């Protein structure tokens, strides 16, 4: 029955039923088919969402909104421009660096794409950058958001796999930085060929200091969050509350750009987004339980064990499955579906669960900027007012750059594991 449930689920996806409802309907059908009491549905959904660690989700979502509305994104862009804006393709590199900074504050791909893209895409067009280049660039750069901590996908994976969220957060730095550097190198090469320019002259040291001073409070956010977790002052969950309090203070009392109207709207948006995420988590918990009852994880393990003769082949197969799934399933849904399926198999082959969590996160975030349903692409195309078809020529090499990083993360585990192993005991 487990295979049948999976097939019905993907049929539901393809005919356009929202993912959370697809998970719920298919799971309830499985419960009824197994002649189990329907009370199990409510029990498993409640159990799935009843986790203290998940309290961090609305907190990080709210903190990201507060930092965006509080003026931090604008200051990060100015600081990035002062640092590297004079290079060939300077504005493109500024956009990437600003997305990396913003990712370290919000952990959201959509927020980074919308916040930085809204500022940079019109500015890049004024300087002669083609929208067909800048729009996919902001989508791929924005996808770094869920990798650099704080990261909601890594937090969810930590809950599912019962592994250290602190190690996952620290481990996210290296792949996030590699993704940013790969896009910068590609942008530099393209900029040299197309004569894309940034600012005419290098920013004087005084301007760098002034812009750095304006952005320092924003840049301190990830240091406070990660430093507090590593030092044991607060947990990964509690760090969300610290981020909210800090962003409220900076945006309201220091930058003075937060208003009660903005705060009210942010609270409403946070409640809506959190509701969507937790409904997916609850239904996915029920779905995973139904699959487990039908021993599908064991069947998948047995099947792939026959096909995958070693760890390298197994990781190739997993990457292909996740890359395909990530193109039409949102990151949270794909994570809560595939993590329980693959964890027993990766454990059998001796793959570190922290390493697998980072592979999973990088895979699924690449899906956020991959057609046909890459959500970051729709955000950036809406800002640039161009179609996905127009973006494809420049999007493909950008995706190739990210896939190279995925290969490094997958097959050179020590590249991403040395930092969490060094800093977190």
26-56 confidence digits (pLDDT tens): 888 888 888 888 888 888 888 877 877 778 7
Note whether residue 287 is domain-resident: no
pLDDT > 70 in the chain, percent = 96
Question: Based on the number of CB atoms within 10 Å of its own CB, is 126 exposed (0-12), middle (13-18) or buried (19 or more)?
Answer: exposed
Of the candidates 127, 141, 131, 130, the one whose C-alpha atom is nearest the C-alpha of residue 96 is 141
How high is the pLDDT of residue 333?
A: 75
Residue 297 clears pLDDT 70, i.e. is over it: no
How high is the pLDDT of residue 123?
A: 81
Task: Give SS3 for 115.
Answer: helix
Whether the bond between 80 and the residue before it is cis, its omega within 30 degrees of 0, is no
Length of the chain: 425
Residue 111 clears pLDDT 80, i.e. is over it: no
For 192, residues 6+ apart whose C-beta sits below 8 A from its C-beta are 88, 89
Note whether residue 343 is domain-resident: yes
How high is the pLDDT of residue 425?
A: 64
Query: Phi/psi class of residue 122: alpha, beta or left (left: φ > 0; alpha: ψ in -120 to 50)?
Result: alpha
How high is the pLDDT of residue 373?
A: 65
Note whether residue 278 is domain-resident: no
Over range 229-252, report the average pLDDT.
82
pTM of the model: 0.79
Question: Based on the number of CB atoms within 10 Å of its own CB, is 385 exposed (0-12), middle (13-18) or buried (19 or more)?
Answer: exposed
Sign of CA dihedral 319, 28, 10, 366: negative
Taking the C-alpha atoms of residue 156 and residue 197, their distance in angstroms, rounded to an integer, is: 41
167-216 confidence digits (pLDDT tens): 898 899 999 999 999 999 999 999 888 888 777 778 888 888 998 888 88
Taking the C-alpha atoms of residue 420 and residue 149, their distance in angstroms, rounded to an integer, is: 12
Note whether residue 15 is domain-resident: no
Note whether residue 205 is domain-resident: yes
Note whether residue 55 is domain-resident: yes
Which run of H or of E encompasses 87? none
Note whether residue 321 is domain-resident: yes
Location of structure tokens 């003075």: 256
Rounded to the nearest 10°, the torsion over CA 121, 125, 129, 133 is 40
* Tally of domains within the chain: 1
356-405 confidence digits (pLDDT tens): 999 999 998 898 888 766 778 888 888 888 888 888 899 999 999 999 99
Location of structure tokens 């602190």: 166
Residue 248 clears pLDDT 80, i.e. is over it: yes
Note whether residue 394 is domain-resident: yes
323-352 confidence digits (pLDDT tens): 887 776 777 778 888 888 888 888 888 899
Location of structure tokens 């996806």: 13
Range of the domain at 158: 51-258+294-423
Asked if 154 and 175 count as a contact pair (C-beta separation under 8 A), the reply is: no
């Amino acid at each position: 029955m487990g295979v049948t449930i999976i097939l019905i689920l993907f049929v539901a996806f393809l005919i356009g039923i929202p993912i959370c409802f697809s998970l719920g309907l298919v799971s309830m059908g499985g419960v009824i088919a197994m002649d189990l009491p329907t009370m199990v549905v409510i029990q498993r959904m409640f159990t799935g969402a009843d986790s203290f660690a998940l309290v961090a989700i609305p907190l990080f979502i709210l903190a990201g909104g507060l930092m965006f509305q509080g003026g931090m994104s604008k200051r990060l862009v100015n600081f990035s421009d002062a640092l590297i804006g004079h290079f060939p393709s300077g504005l493109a590199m500024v956009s990437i660096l600003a997305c990396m900074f913003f990712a370290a504050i919000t952990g959201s791909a959509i927020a980074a794409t919308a916040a930085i893209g809204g500022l940079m895409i019109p500015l890049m067009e004024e300087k002669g950058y083609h929208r067909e280049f800048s729009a996919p660039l902001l989508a791929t750069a924005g996808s770094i958001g869920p990798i650099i901590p704080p990261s909601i996908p890594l937090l969810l994976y930590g809950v599912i796999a019962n592994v250290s969220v602190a190690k996952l957060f620290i481990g996210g730095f290296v792949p996030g930085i590699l993704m940013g550097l790969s896009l910068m190198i590609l942008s530099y090469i393209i900029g040299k060929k197309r004569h894309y320019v940034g600012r005419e002259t290098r920013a004087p040291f005084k301007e760098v200091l002034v812009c750095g001073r304006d952005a320092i409070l924003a840049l301190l956010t990830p240091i406070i969050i990660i430093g507090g977790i590593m030092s044991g002052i607060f947990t990964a969950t509690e760090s969300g509350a610290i981020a909210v309090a800090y962003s409220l203070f900076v945006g309201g009392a220091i930058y003075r750009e937060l208003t009660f109207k903005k705060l009210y709207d942010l609270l409403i948006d946070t409640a809506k987004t959190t509701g969507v995420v937790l409904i997916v988590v609850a239904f996915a918990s029920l779905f995973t339980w139904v699959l487990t009852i039908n021993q599908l994880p064991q069947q998948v393990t047995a099947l792939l064990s026959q096909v995958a003769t070693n760890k390298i082949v197994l990781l190739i197969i997993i990457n292909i499955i996740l890359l395909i799934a990530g193109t039409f399933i949102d990151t949270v849904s794909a994570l809560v579906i595939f993590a329980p399926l693959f964890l027993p198999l990766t454990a059998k082959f001796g793959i570190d669960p922290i390493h697998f969590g980072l592979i999973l996160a990088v895979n699924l975030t690449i899906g956020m900027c991959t057609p046909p349903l890459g959500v970051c692409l729709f955000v950036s195309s809406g800002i640039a007012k161009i179609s996905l078809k127009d973006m494809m020529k420049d999007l493909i090499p950008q995706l190739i750059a990210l896939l190279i990083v995925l290969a490094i993360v997958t097959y050179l585990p020590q590249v991403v594991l040395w930092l969490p192993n060094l800093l977190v005991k």
